[in-house]
A = this chain, B = another copy of it.
């Protein structure tokens, strides 16, 4: 408000040993709307020898919006290839083969005529929030907006056909306990998926936020594997091969299932599913702060189900307050939380901590 003009200061904060810290200071405040900003292309991150071809990467500007829907064109993108495949939607086919009674081939039009589901889910790159990206001793990281630390996680309403419907059409054999998903991109990006997870809640998506998929999100179709690490959500999906053991595909580094029959419905696959997590999206690095009222806001999620509560600390973790949940809480989806804060103008370290419906609490990075 007008009367607060004289007390504007720049936000100062240091990163700390918990995910969900607001990194602050440095960059100038932005006045243009988010939509006026171009896509952010950064140098392709190198991860040693695991990938032999370049990546293309977008980070989602989490600090620039309220609510939980990431606009489709701002959804993070990690492309395991230096260019997009050119796919004709009228010719593209999804085949299901291997351990099935009736190998099948579906056009995209076929898929759109089958029973559909629409669900709000996050997708998160398995390299998101890597410790190197919020190392308090790394001067290159201080002052970066949250986008560049935690921005490889996004959240959309996805529409498509359940794997359960597709596998039922093809006649899944009992011994078909694993699926190998393969994309139509040049690198034939592939990933294995336990059949049990596929039947539980996975689907082949053709829509995102009411639009067809964008090319960088796997147009015309991709897998959505709710709550599991990004690489499971194979884009440009072309083949589903039903097999009887986990394949160690080129693109994945782990292939060990953690069967938890003791947990029943709540079974988790620790090597695959994301645990509870949260990030403060505002205040964020570069934001101009004003003394007095500040709304702390962020996003929380869990790969195990719904967010149950989010606690926020403004004193580096000494004391915590429960944040307000704003809007709907979807399972395996971003959940918006807010906390009203009276800022006294002093340096502060803001942190958040999520508890999910299974009782799991977001761990400290330390």
Which residues of A approach B to under 8 Å, CB–CB? 1-2, 31, 33-35, 65-72, 74, 89-90, 104-106, 109-110, 113-120, 157-159, 169, 207, 209-212, 220, 290, 293-295, 297, 326-328, 330, 336, 338, 340
Contact = CB atoms under 8 A, between A and B. Distances in A.
Q: Top 3 closest A-B pairs, CB basis?
A: A67-B118, A66-B159, A33-B212
Contact of A117 (B68, B327, B328): B327
Contacts of A67: 118, 157-159, 207, 209-210
6 contacts: A65-B210, A66-B207, A69-B69, A74-B210, A118-B327, A209-B209
Contacts of A113: 290, 293-295
Contact of A209 (B69, B119, B207, B326): B69
A69 B327 contact: no
A1 B109 contact: no
Contact of A65 (B211, B295, B297, B338): B211
A157 B328 CA distance: 11
B207 A159 contact: no
Given A31-B109, A157-B67, A295 B115 contact: yes
A159 B69 CA distance: 11
Contacts of A293: 113-114
B211 A327 contact: no
A211 B71 CA distance: 7
Given A1-B110, A106-B1, A211-B65, A33 B117 contact: no
B330 A210 contact: no
A10 to B, nearest CB: 15
Contacts of A327: 117-120, 157
A157 B115 contact: no
Contacts of A89: 31, 33
Contacts of A72: 71
B116 A326 contact: yes
Nearest to A89: B33
Nearest to A31: B90
A157 B69 contact: yes
A207 B63 CA distance: 13
Contact of A336 (B31, B68, B118): B118
Given A169-B1, A328-B330, A210 B69 contact: yes
Given A68-B157, A157-B68, A211 B116 contact: no
A295 B116 contact: yes
Given A65-B159, A67-B210, 16 more contacts: A1-B104, A2-B105, A2-B110, A34-B211, A35-B212, A65-B211, A66-B118, A66-B159, A67-B158, A67-B209, A68-B157, A70-B210, A74-B210, A113-B293, A116-B326, A118-B327
